[in-house]
Structure 1
């Protein structure tokens, strides 16, 4: 079922001339619950998180498709960390968010961390899923391999355009994002070998935040949002509700 079919508002934000598409469950939400902004993974779109928006009601949730993904524009350039952080900022402005929880899955976690480092005073909590506190540079040849060996076989070429994949390889610079942040955090982590979050990465997260909650998924690696999606949703739901309780 498409997000629009669930009664969510479809909207657009202007990120330096790039139209960024998002869905917003605000019309079905309760105002007293602080909203969550969702940053999907590398080739994910806003539509793929409609079930999370539904699950977290009556909390308002907003999810965007980053540039080059879903219904968002595909510029010829502008695919480093700063431009993805700008996409988040554009959606925050367009939706009028003041205080928010912020969730990033996979590479979306690095975009969320980049935004949180610039706007820490507005972030109530940060949730990251199976990705270290860094923005990674993609190796030579990654774009062709990712497109031909993953996107085509899994019918995901409509999720992210080839221009975006190539731009991410060409423009992404490695940046550590492990400085201290003042908000509480939740880390979701797969425990199988394909997880992208090592024990040392987890310790870096523990050093970054005043309090850190951990949800581990023993039947998953990096694919935890697929193989154990209901458990991931429940961990997010319970963490957000705890933050609401602690803020009273």
Structure 2
């Protein structure tokens, strides 16, 4: 079921809550510039295995409200904290993809792993995000031809073949976001770093990363593995930035093993 949770005066986030009666909960944080629907191929499977799957659209993305402000890691982590408190979640697993992985890291450190038992980082945009050059290019494209920008992201996202209908669907996810929030996150990924957060993570952490990732190089996953205590890195040899779809069976099984 879907509903809205208030996280700040005038700002409500959309939450997709699947199998809410299950005893084990996984909260999914999407990547830029997508929304919770990117995890469709997890929602199709994991709830039938007995998991409660919660997908959250960040502010400015998907079905959530689109304020002009609040697109830094602290505020985005605070939004997640507000949802967690509202839903009274405890002992849950937080799974973040790309920029969602960066937000998950900031949540774990800024809020002292509130309610958190495990962390899953999926092609996480950490400890660094976009380079100055990449950010400037994406920002120019976003502010002048956002559909072209999104098509370029899709074209470099996957290592395996995707069909034209899948590409169209994926592009649509990115274009549901507001233009201003899409641009604001580019600046955040350029300017904010997470190096000092990593040693503060205390919960068991699973790091999964496509070795053919062209958006966030695999070496960053190795850096995360070295910096985060009690972390385990699993490379995905047939994936780019979209292992949640490209090797979905392997990914879903890993989640099952890690969460228990």
TM-score using structure 1 length: 0.82
User: Alpha carbons of 1:120 and 1:235: their partners in 2 closer, same or farther (altered >3 Å)?
Assistant: same
Q: Match for residue 106 of structure 2?
A: 114
Unmatched tracts of structure 1, length 5 or more? 1-8, 242-248
User: Alpha carbons of 1:220 and 1:94: their partners in 2 closer, same or farther (altered >3 Å)?
Assistant: same
User: Is the aligned partner of 1:209 residue 2:229?
Assistant: yes
Q: Match for residue 180 of structure 1?
A: 200
Is residue 35–residue 173 contact of structure 2 (8 Å, CA) maintained in 1?
no
User: Is the aligned partner of 1:145 residue 2:138?
Assistant: no
Q: Secondary structure at the match of 1:134?
A: coil
User: Alpha carbons of 1:161 and 1:30: their partners in 2 closer, same or farther (altered >3 Å)?
Assistant: same
Q: Match for residue 254 of structure 2?
A: 235
Deviations 1:79-118 (A, max 9, x none): 1111211221121122111221110011100000000112
Instruction: Supply the distance in 2 between the matched residues of 1:19 and 1:170 (Cα, whole angstroms).
Output: 23
Q: Match for residue 34 of structure 2?
A: 44
User: Is the aligned partner of 1:105 residue 2:105?
Assistant: no
Quote how far apart the aligned CAs of 1:136 are: 3.1
User: Alpha carbons of 1:136 and 1:151: their partners in 2 closer, same or farther (altered >3 Å)?
Assistant: same
Is residue 78–residue 171 contact of structure 1 (8 Å, CA) maintained in 2?
no
Q: Match for residue 167 of structure 1?
A: 184
Instruction: Supply the distance in 2 between the matched residues of 1:69 and 1:94 (Cα, whole angstroms).
Output: 20
User: Alpha carbons of 1:88 and 1:15: their partners in 2 closer, same or farther (altered >3 Å)?
Assistant: same
User: Alpha carbons of 1:169 and 1:197: their partners in 2 closer, same or farther (altered >3 Å)?
Assistant: closer
Quote how far apart the aligned CAs of 1:226 are: 3.0
Alpha carbon RMSD of aligned pairs, Å? Answer: 2.3
Instruction: Supply the distance in 1 between the matched residues of 2:220 and 2:128 (Cα, whole angstroms).
Output: 16
Q: Secondary structure at the match of 1:84?
A: helix
Quote how far apart the aligned CAs of 1:135 are: 5.4
Q: Which has the higher contact order (CA 8 A, sep 6+)?
A: 2
Is residue 209–residue 243 contact of structure 2 (8 Å, CA) maintained in 1?
yes
Is residue 189–residue 216 contact of structure 1 (8 Å, CA) maintained in 2?
yes
Quote how far apart the aligned CAs of 1:144 are: 3.2
Unmatched tracts of structure 2, length 5 or more? 153-170
Aligned pair count?
229
Quote how far apart the aligned CAs of 1:78 are: 1.5
Quote how far apart the aligned CAs of 1:51 are: 3.5
Is residue 34–residue 174 contact of structure 2 (8 Å, CA) maintained in 1?
no
Q: Match for residue 221 of structure 1?
A: 240
User: Alpha carbons of 1:200 and 1:128: their partners in 2 closer, same or farther (altered >3 Å)?
Assistant: closer
